[in-house]
Amino acid sequence: MEGSISLTETIGKPPIPISSPLKPDWKDRLDRAFDQLRQWSLIWGYSLLPRTLNLEFLPEDSPDLGQCQWDTQTIRLNPKLLLPEHEDLLLETLCHEAAHWMAFRRHGLGIDPHGPEWQGFMRQAGYEPRVGLATDSIMKSFDPPPSRPTLN
């Protein structure tokens, strides 16, 4: 499920332009996430943030939860974050990556990516700054449970 979503278009709630179709509940989750992004942008004093960023999905086998690409103004998220059981992690990851973008915008690319500037944006948004969330245990929670052998 790789594709690109324009946050500009999504904020106004028209159909999401993406190369592969989204399940209706995934679109609802993304809409809620973008509503939250709009709130963070107001807290951070840059209301154009939702209109500036693009959202793409990483390959499903990516070990990362998200990435911020300053040069293309793109946040890339692991599509497994769209599963219902990961909605809180979706929001935290989106905030994490958007906070990177804001820190780079305000303080330049020479800052420590997880330094005090980034941490400040995370705290303003109501999150404790955490790094390295893509641990084995989180990534394993994305996998379906192993099938059990059946006895005939």
The CATH number of the domain holding residue 10 is 3.30.2010.10
Give mean pLDDT, residues 112-135: 91
- Of the listed ranges 70-84, 95-109, 121-135, the one predicted with least confidence: 121-135
- The model's confidence at residue 11, banded by pLDDT at 50, 70 and 90, is very low
Residue 145 DSSP class:
P
**132 within domain boundaries:** yes
Residue 22: pLDDT band with limits 50, 70, 90: low
Within 13 Å and on the Cβ side, how many CA atoms surround 109? 4
What's the whole-model pTM score? Answer: 0.78
Per the CB < 8 A criterion, the answer to whether 49 and 10 are in contact is: no
> Distance between CA 130 and CA 141 in Å, rounded?
18
Q: Considering the domain boundaries, does residue 147 fall inside one?
A: no
Find out whether 101 and 69 touch, Cβ atoms under 8 Å: no
Is 53 inside any structural domain? yes
Q: Report the percentage of the chain scoring pLDDT > 70.
A: 72
82 versus 135: which is more confidently predicted? 82
Distance of CA 55 to the CA centre of its chain: 8
Distance, in Å, from the CA atom of 70 to the CA atom of 98, rounded to the nearest integer, reads: 10
Answer whether residue 51 is part of any domain.
Answer: yes
* Number of domains making up the chain: 1
Q: Is 151 within the bounds of a domain?
A: no
78 within some domain? yes
Q: What is the mean pLDDT of the chain?
A: 82
Q: How confident is the model at residue 61 (pLDDT cuts 50, 70, 90)?
A: confident
| Whether pLDDT at 128 is above 70 | yes
Q: What is the pLDDT of residue 152?
A: 55
> Looking at the domain assignment, is residue 76 inside a domain?
yes
Amino acid at 30: L
Assess if residue 145 is contained within a domain.
no
Biggest alpha carbon–alpha carbon distance for the chain: 64
User: What gap in Å lies between CA 67 and CA 148, rounded to an integer?
Assistant: 35
Domain that holds residue 49: 4-140
